[in-house]
Chain A
Amino acid sequence: MKTCLVVDDSSVIRKVARRILEDLDFSIAEAEDGKAALESCRKDMPDAILLDWNMPVMDGLEFLTALRQEEGGDRPTVVFCTTENDVGHIAKAIRAGANEYIMKPFDREIVEAKFQEVGLL
């Protein structure tokens, strides 16, 4: 079973994402900000990360930049999932090493399509 770390400061979003991804046969871990996510990755590097942008303590972009410099941090497939929906943010995320990008609001079909696109399904 593949593992996915869901990083979002909203517990509601984490719950919705967990439900969708568990149905897609992922084992889920959760983190509520970038710093907690980085600690989680250091303990157990996941196969995939669903990543919010705007979070307290450490935001998604800072987390991704730090993750890609960690040992083994190039391995997880990172899918941003954020309300930031402009070309500038998307391009910035891709440059920082994101593999895909979901603009909120999202649903099951979008998550499934994006995860398929990057070979996670």
Chain B
Amino acid sequence: MTPTEFEFLKTFLKTRSGLVLSNEKQYLVESRLLPLARKGGIASLSDLVIRLQKGIDRKLETDVVEAMTTNESFFFRDKTPFDNFTNTMLPALLKARGDRKRIRIWCAAASTGQEPYSLAMLLKEAAAKLAGWRIEIIGTDISNEVLDKAKSGIYSQFEVQRGLPIQMLLKYFTQNGDMWQINPEIRGMVQWRMLNLLENFSSLGEFDVIFCRNVLIYFDQPTKSDILNRLAKLMSSDGYLVLGAAETVVGLSTAFQPVPGLRGLYHRGGVSSPGAARAGVQTGSRLFAS
């Protein structure tokens, strides 16, 4: 690929998806787009760039964005955010939302579905505490292709072994040859939407928990700030934001404060601890916009 072609792809991807590619990521572009070109009968990456430049192949444009933004995902990835969900977020929200008995969770870069389904399984495990509660989990992603896979809930033997405890595999999946499908009761707990984080997402409504992990790292600083500030507007006053291990709000947004001692977990602005957040609710903070 020539430098000019790489420059074109960088601009194209930044405009379409916000993805920022540094010059040393040329290998990534080649490794992800070459298979796509071959699949579509396009002889080379140069030919692929020419087709994009002509602006007449919408499907190819979508496929290129999807190929470059699709991230690896696995069940209970990094473990800690899920421990924090069970041990910190859920108990605090159950206490704070006792009157409404409703919790809304958004997985903002849901990819092939493992993150929202992991949360759904944890909620199922906590079912005894949740009788009478309405819990919504919404999974969104920029890629239609990964959302189709997410909706199907079908995973390979390889995928179900990365992070998923064997007891949960037995309990919540049905085997079909070498593939495993997550059971309808868990699938039914998650709603799916295609969504580009660069675009307006205010119509999703207000959330108590937002998982937005391992996606901000692909954006430049102004885009990260913009997304974080728009996430804050969708979050209840004592809501939680969960970022990836390599991500932070520091220097990007004052709308969130780190929860002390819990890496990657943030509270909506001005609140420094779960205790303070609960106090805020008790003094009359609004719980839900909708």
Chain A positions near chain B (C-beta within 8 angstroms) = 85-87, 90-91, 94, 100-103, 106, 109-110, 113-114, 116-117
A113–B175 CB distance below 8 A: no
Please name all residues of chain B whose beta carbon is closer than 8 Å to the beta carbon of A109 when the two chains form the complex.
162
Interface residues of B in 128-178 (CB under 8 A from A): 157-158, 161-163, 165-167, 169-170, 175, 178
Q: State which of A102, A103, A106, A113 has its C-beta within 8 Å of the C-beta of B163.
A: A113
Query: What 10 pairs between A and B have smallest CB-CB spacing?
Result: A101-B166, A110-B161, A113-B162, A113-B163, A117-B165, A103-B157, A100-B166, A87-B175, A109-B162, A110-B162
Nearest neighbor of A85 in chain B, beta-carbon distance: B157
Q: State which of A91, A94, A114 has its C-beta within 8 Å of the C-beta of B161.
A: A114
| B233 interface residue (CB < 8 Å to A) | no
Size category, B interface: 10 to 19
B162–A94 CB distance below 8 A: no
Question: Closest approach, in angstroms, between the C-beta of A48 and any C-beta of chain B?
Answer: 15
| B100 interface residue (CB < 8 Å to A) | no
Knowing A85-B178, A86-B175, A116-B79, the reply to whether A103 touches B161 (Cβ < 8 A) is yes
Interface residues of B in 259-283 (CB under 8 A from A): none
A interface footprint on B34-74 (CB within 8 Å = 1, 0 otherwise): 00000000000000000000000000000000000000001
A94–B170 CB distance below 8 A: yes
Nearest neighbor of B174 in chain A, beta-carbon distance: A87
Please name all residues of chain A whose beta carbon is closer than 8 Å to the beta carbon of B178 when the two chains form the complex.
85
- Given contacts A87-B175, A94-B166, A110-B162, could you give 12 more A-B pairs where the C-beta distance is less than 8 Å? A90-B166, A90-B170, A94-B167, A100-B166, A102-B161, A103-B157, A103-B161, A110-B161, A113-B163, A114-B161, A117-B163, A117-B165
Number of inter-chain CB pairs below 8 Å: 31
Instruction: Give the distance in Å from the alpha carbon of A117 to the alpha carbon of B165 in the complex.
Output: 7
Q: State which of A90, A110, A113 has its C-beta within 8 Å of the C-beta of B169.
A: A90
B175–A100 CB distance below 8 A: no
Question: Closest approach, in angstroms, between the C-beta of A110 and any C-beta of chain B?
Answer: 5
Please name all residues of chain A whose beta carbon is closer than 8 Å to the beta carbon of B79 when the two chains form the complex.
116
B158–A110 CB distance below 8 A: yes
Nearest neighbor of A99 in chain B, beta-carbon distance: B166
Knowing A87-B175, A91-B170, the reply to whether A100 touches B157 (Cβ < 8 A) is no
Please name all residues of chain A whose beta carbon is closer than 8 Å to the beta carbon of B175 when the two chains form the complex.
86-87
| A-B contact list, 6 entries, CB within 8 Å | A90-B169, A91-B170, A113-B74, A113-B161, A113-B162, A117-B165
Instruction: Give the distance in Å from the alpha carbon of A90 to the alpha carbon of B160 in the complex.
Output: 14
Please name all residues of chain B whose beta carbon is closer than 8 Å to the beta carbon of A100 when the two chains form the complex.
165-166
Please name all residues of chain B whose beta carbon is closer than 8 Å to the beta carbon of A85 when the two chains form the complex.
157, 178
Please name all residues of chain B whose beta carbon is closer than 8 Å to the beta carbon of A101 when the two chains form the complex.
166
Please name all residues of chain A whose beta carbon is closer than 8 Å to the beta carbon of B163 when the two chains form the complex.
113, 117
Please name all residues of chain A whose beta carbon is closer than 8 Å to the beta carbon of B162 when the two chains form the complex.
109-110, 113
Instruction: Give the distance in Å from the alpha carbon of A91 to the alpha carbon of B170 in the complex.
Output: 8
Nearest neighbor of A114 in chain B, beta-carbon distance: B161
Question: Closest approach, in angstroms, between the C-beta of A53 and any C-beta of chain B?
Answer: 14
Interface residues of B in 165-194 (CB under 8 A from A): 165-167, 169-170, 175, 178
Question: Closest approach, in angstroms, between the C-beta of B31 and any C-beta of chain A?
Answer: 19
Please name all residues of chain B whose beta carbon is closer than 8 Å to the beta carbon of A116 when the two chains form the complex.
79
Nearest neighbor of A102 in chain B, beta-carbon distance: B161
Please name all residues of chain B whose beta carbon is closer than 8 Å to the beta carbon of A94 when the two chains form the complex.
166-167, 170
Nearest neighbor of A86 in chain B, beta-carbon distance: B175
A interface footprint on B193-205 (CB within 8 Å = 1, 0 otherwise): 0000000000000
Nearest neighbor of B169 in chain A, beta-carbon distance: A90
Nearest neighbor of B160 in chain A, beta-carbon distance: A103
Please name all residues of chain A whose beta carbon is closer than 8 Å to the beta carbon of B170 when the two chains form the complex.
87, 90-91, 94
Instruction: Give the distance in Å from the alpha carbon of A102 to the alpha carbon of B74 in the complex.
Output: 16
Instruction: Give the distance in Å from the alpha carbon of A64 to the alpha carbon of B169 in the complex.
Output: 21
Question: Closest approach, in angstroms, between the C-beta of B288 and any C-beta of chain A?
Answer: 35
